Structures are given as C-alpha cells and as structure tokens.
Chain A
Amino acid sequence: MSLDTFLQHLTNGISLGSLYALIAIGYTMVYGILRLINFAHGDIFMMATYFAFYGVTTFMLPWYFSFLIAIILTGALGILIERTAYRPLRGAPKISIMISAIGASFLLENVAIVMFGGRPKPFPTPEIFDKMVQIGNISVQRLTFVIPVVTFVLLYLLLYLINHTKSGMAMRAVSKDYETAGLMGIDVNKTISFTFGIGSMLASVGALLWALKFPSLLPLMGVMPGLKCFIAAVIGGIGNVKGAVIGGFILGIGEIMLVAFFQDLSGYRDAFAFVMLIVILLLKPTGIMGEKISEKV
C-alpha cells in the first residue's frame, strides 16, 4: 500500500473516529451519572438531523441558524425524555429504567417513520464544508478537518466544565453517590437534567457533522451508529469521558484499517465493532480507562 493511500485511510479513520467519539461521550456521561445505558441516544442523534433538515427546507432558515436551533431542540428533547421516561423510575431496579430506555428508543424510531416517512431525505450541505482540499496526492473534504477540530474543542470545554466549575462538581458528586449528594444540598434533579441536556447537545453536534458527511437521512439511521458508539464507550471505560473519546478513535480507525488492509473482509466492517466489544469484555471488562468500582461499606 502506498504512503498516500495509507494517509488517506488514516484521515478517513480519524474523521470517522471523531464522529464516534462525540456520540460516545453522551453515552458515557449518562452512564456515569445514572448508571443507565441510554439506548435512546442513537435516536436522539437521528432526531437532531431531522430538526436541522426541516429547519433548512421547511422554515427556510440559513444553515448556521438551523443547526443552532437543532442543537437546542435536541438538548430539550433529551431533557424531556429524562423527565418522562427515566425520572419516575429512579427508585426502581436498574433493569426497569433500561427497559424504559429501550421503549423510548422504539418510540422515537417509529414516530420518526410515521412523521418523516421512510424514504431517505437529502441533507443540505453548505458550500463551506463541501469544498475539496488537495494535500499532495490526497484529496479531502474541508469537513474532514472540521470534524476532529470540533470534537477536541468540545472535549476540552466539557472537561473544563466537569473539572473546574461548580455544576461540574455537582455532576461528579451525583455520579459518585446521588443520595449523599442530595443530602449535601445539591439539586439532584437539576443536575441530572443538565447532564442529559449536555449529552444530547453533544450528540446533536455529532449528528449534524455526521449528516454533513453522509447526507442521507433515514428514520433508522441512528441504530447502527448508536450501537457502535455504545461499544466505543465500553471500550474506553464506560463512565469516563476521555475513555469514550479514545474508544471512539479506536473503533473508527480500526474499522477503516480493517477494510484498508483486508479488502476481502470489507463486508464484515460492522462485525469489527462487535468483535472488539467481546474482546474488551474478555480482556479488560472495565475498559481501557475504566477504574474498578469497589463496593465500600
């Protein structure tokens, strides 16, 4: 394989990995706070793209405005789902809330099928992202650079939020022990809603970048990325934000490299993610950056 081809593959891998990372962060944050795997996350991702699509086509808003509205609406949707599907079950056994998440996922998918129709919709791609850039022999879309930059900026902002602000401290406290955090004067409900809001907004940024890269919208488009990003979060250590980003890159680059080096296995690229899940659970179940959570009496 020539150096050019390898570099092209690497750029594609980094681009895909950043997308997975952004969405995996959402999964990991919610798990960290609530010990809940939010299966509806992939579908929130899907709804974000449709919000932006209708903003541009039906309401004729300029794209940056439409994207902003989509991000805010998605954050609101995440908070709404938390209030209606998860908060009432906070005292219930963990399995009930997980089933509720699956139910929310199916609800979103089927509402989308009915409301938006089953046929693929073309996502509007503004000129500024579409332009091709030539670097030596590699030809990349401008978007390919925008994606990792946005991911790292948001990651930096998120880590700053979690580690150096009061709300972040509240989030960390609630994730350690939410009953005690409540006793210490932290508004647990508000903190949890805030976490969901942030997680959903990150997913929506990821969704918009995804839709810019792969401009075909379908109601079930969130299923496969949702599963893969969940796996990315598990690989990195579920509950750990930096781990989610690492997991996302491992999955994205790994998937591309599998197809790059083993052309005949290109039909199995989705299987790669699931094989990685089994491998990591066998070798290091807490994930790459996960710490063992010991039960302290």
Chain B
Amino acid sequence: MDSSITSDQSAQPVLAIANNPHGHENHGSEEHDHAGNSMFGFIVFLLSESVIFLSFFAGYAMIKLTTPDWLPPGVEGLDVNAPTINTIVLVSSSFVIYFAERALKQNKLIQFRLLWLLTMGMGTYFLVGQAIEWSELQFGLTSGVYGGLFYLLTGFHGLHVLIGILLQGVMLGRSLIPNNYAGGHVGVDETSLFWHFVDVIWIVLFCLIYLWQ
C-alpha cells in the first residue's frame, strides 16, 4: 500500500535509515534539539501534573470549609513538630540536588554522585518519617472525610517522592556508565526538576494540612 521507501535509492540512504529510523544522518541541514524537546515536554508534563494536586488542594479546602463533620471523633489535630523537621529535610534536599547538578556541569563526577546520593538519602528520610507519622496517627483512611483527604493527599505526594527517589537511582546507576554525559545530561536535569516540583507541592501541602488547622 505504501510506496516503498528504499526501492530505488542508493545504498547510502538505506544504511542511514537502517541505523536510525528517522535517517537524520542523511539530512545534514536539519538540527533536532532532542534534549531541548525532551525538557520542554517534561516541563509541560509537570505543569499538567501540578493541576492534579491543585485539584486535590481545592477539594480539601472546599470540604474543610463546608462540611459539618471535619475532624474524626477523638482527633484534636495533627502534631506539627515531626512533620516540620521532615519538611526542612525535604526542602534542603532541593538545594543539595541543585549543587549536585552544578557539580555535574563542572564535570566533577564524584562530587555529583555523592551529592546525588545524599539527596536520595534525604528523600528516604522524609518517606520514612512520613511512614512513622502515619503509623502513629489515631485515624485511618476511612475515618470520615478528613481521614480520606489526609491519607490521599500525603499518600499521593509520598508516591511522587518515591518515584523521584527511584528516578534518582536510575540516574545514579547511569552515571557509572563511561562517557554517559557525552551527549548532554537532560535526564539528570529532568529528574532534578521533578524533585523541585515534589518539594514545592509539599510546601503547599504542609501549609494546607498542618499549618491551616
């Protein structure tokens, strides 16, 4: 049905197309900034993803302001101390990852890997802290609308933290491949951006759930 693409072309374009399904080598005048496209797409994706959280925030606020049964019986409020420490750790890890990125740009691979690993550690600390907080709470997912909202919001966010840590793990593994950054480091940039995104979401969440009680 489709006209054959290679039937009457010389061997050179055939080789080029076989190597790369889009045969870019054959068309020297084109430049495809794949890394730029990738980053652009990722930013667009993150903007869209933030709308899910914004929707949850709006839902939380709407219910808090209008429901007759807000806190479950026997629950006075949330302890703010441990979560505050967790917050400080998580937000600081954004700075750490920033320095890690800087180290990579300056080609200091060992420093990059160490700071990267530290970021992962801080993220893990946050998650563990959250898990401990969860286990000590007096209410569950089904404890009225408050329980549902609390666990849904913090859980959804925690899931994103976990994904962030896993992505960082993958990047760390890749950093051990020799010459990995010859073509640029858009993967590291995107993972880093994702981490900042996760942090900003947490700041809003923290204010909404812990400070506005």
A binds B: no
Seen from chain A, the residues whose Cβ lies within 8 Å of a Cβ on chain B are: none
Interface residue ranges, B against A (CB under 8 Å): none
